[in-house]
Structure 1
Amino acid sequence: MDAKRGLLLVSPTAAYVILLLAAPLMTILAFSFWTQDFLAIDTTFTLDNYREAFADPIYRTLMARSLWISGAVTLVTVILAFPIAYFVSFHVPPERKALWIFLITIPFWTSYLLRVFLWKVILGFNGVLNSGLQSIGLIDEPLTFILYNSNAVVITLAHAFAPFTILPIYVALEKIDRSLLEASQDLGESKFSTFFRVTLPLAMPGVIAATLIVFIPTIGDYVTPRLVGGPNGLMIANMIQTQFLKLNNAPLGATLSVLAMCCVTAISLIFLFLNRRYLRTQ
């Protein structure tokens, strides 16, 4: 009876997941083994799409660039977010923490597209950053390496995903029992060693969550690379969009999507494995 009641309770959620997650993924996987001639889909099984994806250097270049940009964005956001989350958790009075969290979430109030355009204005050849640096005499001519390349994509995505990294790390830090830190220092550990041997390992669930929350979606972002990346900042998602919407080659676009998902899954599993080994040594 209890088993039937449990199945009844989870069945709506299971159906929702199957319809909106599993079914689209299986459809994309099936498309990757088909071919398309303009609007006609040939459902004959073939591996030609995967052969083309591995043989053409442009796809390998875009995939490598996407992984590098996603990794750089993840690293930058986590490194910058941890001190902010630590400060709010350990040094802000309890009655003011809600205000700080409120301020951190303010970027969510504005459109993602608007924020990307604002960074385009800031990083532009005659933008706010270059104009400011020239006015104070730090540079003689505008910097050209901060827009329409992978650097601009990393900067823009790091800002866009900053709240996604701060919040899970903050939640993990809030759950740490402060008496453990006091006990560590009572046993002769310095604040520095206490942080690396007690605080950081206990905060790793938040760090892991922040890392995955940023790394997984950034590799599929195509708006930011299109607007601020230029030719040298385009990612694999831009090629997938082109295959689906402009070249009428949905099977090849599906193949690139499957390969991107496989790369993200493999890297995420390796990261989780290395993190588990790190925690075991603490």
Structure 2
Amino acid sequence: MARGLSREDKQGLTLIGLPFGYALVMLAAPLAMVVTFSFWTQNYLDIDRTLTIANYREVFGQPIYQTLLWRSLRISLIVTIVTVLLAFPIAYYLSFHVKRNKALWLFLITVPFWTSYLLRVFLWKVILGYNGVLNTALLQTGIIDEPLTFILYNANAVVLTLAHAWAPFAILPIFVALEKIDRSLLEAAEDLGDGPLRRFWRVTFPLAIPGVVAATLIVLIPTVGDFITPKLVGGTDGLMVANMIQIQFGKANNAPLGAALAVTSMVVVAVISIGIYLAGRKIGGKVSR
């Protein structure tokens, strides 16, 4: 087979060989290990390597796991919707209204990454706390008579914190998609009598769908597996499936069950992500036609 390859083909294989091997070792191998673990069972301090689906029976049979998985999906979907809705106007403004120093504006969007993710979560805990910045300000202005209790240690705090943390990841792909739009299409729509709103819904937004889909997937997939934010600001009502996975791998000493939970979450998220991608591609196909 090697004799039939041209010199360019051999050079190409050489170039991709190392990255492919790295990806295989660092990504595929751990994933295969987790999947294998999910079919084993924990026998006190030892692992019983007899293949079984008992862990998956427990995952789908115990209400607590179903509740945590559904809550994780619900919180992640809300975070994704909120983040994309807030990111789109910012990306639109940068693309269509900022004429100079766009690079500076994009640089400023990355400012939150200058600090640790953990530190940002702690700052939101300080802001939303019972005696935090928000409650103190509302009390001093007379808007409320007593501190608000529904803004911390629940799903609301998780949504707010995650939406802030992942906003830059949503802004950038939408901005790139908007930058690729041919402005002559908007001029043609204007010449045909379309107003600003009609041009937006018929030209701008459909052509920005690839960026919206990318932003949706970038935010949705990692937030389902986030365990730091729910642990710090979620309380008992904001815990997600990743927290249970962490417990199973840690205190509960049941790695196979934790692996089964991880694989189940991954499959569910993969199905949802494929559905979102196909829906966006379908919309994009209609626009191109």
Residues 210 and 284 in structure 2, CA contact (< 8 A), matched pair in contact too: no
Q: How does 1:8-47 map to 2 (within 5 A)?
A: 8-47=14-53
Aligned residue for 2:158, secondary structure, equals helix
Q: Pick from 190, 195, 212 the counterpart of residue 200 of structure 2.
A: 195
Q: How does 1:60-71 map to 2 (within 5 A)?
A: 60-71=66-77
Name the CA distance, whole Å, in 1 between partners of 2:45 and 2:106: 49
Q: Which amino acid aligns with 1:275?
A: G
Partner of 1:124: 129
Name the CA distance, whole Å, in 1 between partners of 2:44 and 2:20: 36
Residues 209 and 283 in structure 2, CA contact (< 8 A), matched pair in contact too: no
Are 1:248 and 2:253 counterparts? yes
Deviation at residue 204 of structure 1 after TM alignment: 1.3
Are 1:258 and 2:263 counterparts? yes
Q: How does 1:1-282 map to 2 (within 5 A)?
A: 1=6, 2-94=8-100, 96-282=101-287
Q: Which amino acid aligns with 1:20?
A: M
Deviation at residue 182 of structure 1 after TM alignment: 0.7
Name the CA distance, whole Å, in 1 between partners of 2:85 and 2:220: 14
- The alignment's TM-score, normalised by the length of structure 1, stands at 0.97
Deviation at residue 118 of structure 1 after TM alignment: 0.4
Q: Which runs of 5+ in 2 are unaligned?
A: 1-5
Name the CA distance, whole Å, in 1 between partners of 2:39 and 2:232: 32
Name the CA distance, whole Å, in 1 between partners of 2:126 and 2:202: 43
Residues 95 and 178 in structure 2, CA contact (< 8 A), matched pair in contact too: yes
Deviation at residue 6 of structure 1 after TM alignment: 2.1
Name the CA distance, whole Å, in 2 between partners of 1:278 and 1:151: 32
Name the CA distance, whole Å, in 1 between partners of 2:187 and 2:151: 45
Q: Which amino acid aligns with 1:13?
A: P
Aligned residue for 2:252, secondary structure, equals coil
Higher deviation after alignment, 32-41 or 102-111: 32-41
Name the CA distance, whole Å, in 2 between partners of 1:176 and 1:280: 15
Q: Deviations over 1:144-171 (max 9, x none)?
A: 1110000000000000001111111111
Name the CA distance, whole Å, in 2 between partners of 1:38 and 1:82: 51
Q: Deviations over 1:117-157 (max 9, x none)?
A: 00001001111111111111111111111100000000000
Q: Percent identity?
A: 64
Name the CA distance, whole Å, in 1 between partners of 2:53 and 2:171: 43
Q: Deviations over 1:57-87 (max 9, x none)?
A: 0000000000001001100000000000111
Residues 155 and 238 in structure 2, CA contact (< 8 A), matched pair in contact too: yes
Deviation at residue 275 of structure 1 after TM alignment: 1.9
Name the CA distance, whole Å, in 1 between partners of 2:221 and 2:49: 30
Name the CA distance, whole Å, in 2 between partners of 1:280 and 1:10: 32
Higher deviation after alignment, 170-179 or 245-254: 170-179
Name the CA distance, whole Å, in 2 between partners of 1:148 and 1:31: 33
Name the CA distance, whole Å, in 2 between partners of 1:280 and 1:136: 52
- The alignment's TM-score, normalised by the length of structure 2, stands at 0.95
Name the CA distance, whole Å, in 2 between partners of 1:105 and 1:152: 22
